[in-house]
Structure 1
């Protein structure tokens, strides 16, 4: 599959409170075929730790033609 299912975008940035629900959302995206893109980020808003994780849909690139040197 060259495109994400259900009309989802190729790039996604999931954010939210650092809890089981956030981990579940990231896990579901991985199960769909997304790959983690970069490291997660975390910040503190004075009450909760807020996290972010970028995900990227892997593109299937056609083979590039071989060049003779």
Structure 2
């Protein structure tokens, strides 16, 4: 089974650490990162899609994808 996550967060080191953690747990980058600017908060936010193949499991909508 292939699972998909979209990691989001403020453009700071915590976002990079979250993506790095996912990569070290077997997730792979999927596509390019995205950036958006929230003028109301005067902040830039990042997003990165990641995918992972999980063997021996069937998909269920209640899965916690970050724990796979």
TM (norm. structure 2) is 0.70
Measure the CA separation in 2 of the matches of 1:59 and 1:16: 25
Task: Select the structure of larger CA radius of gyration.
Answer: 1
Measure the CA separation in 1 of the matches of 2:53 and 2:34: 21
Partner of 2:66: none
How many residue pairs end up in the alignment? 53
Q: Which runs of 5+ in 2 are unaligned?
A: 56-68
Q: Which runs of 5+ in 1 are unaligned?
A: 4-9, 61-69
Partner of 2:17: 24
CA RMSD of aligned residues (A): 1.9
| Residue pairs, 1:3-22, within 5 angstroms | 10-22=3-15
Given the alignment of the two structures, is residue 41 of structure 1 paired with residue 34 of structure 2, yes or no? yes
- Alpha-carbon distance, 1:38 to partner: 0.1
Bigger relative CO (Cα 8 Å, ≥ 6 apart): 2
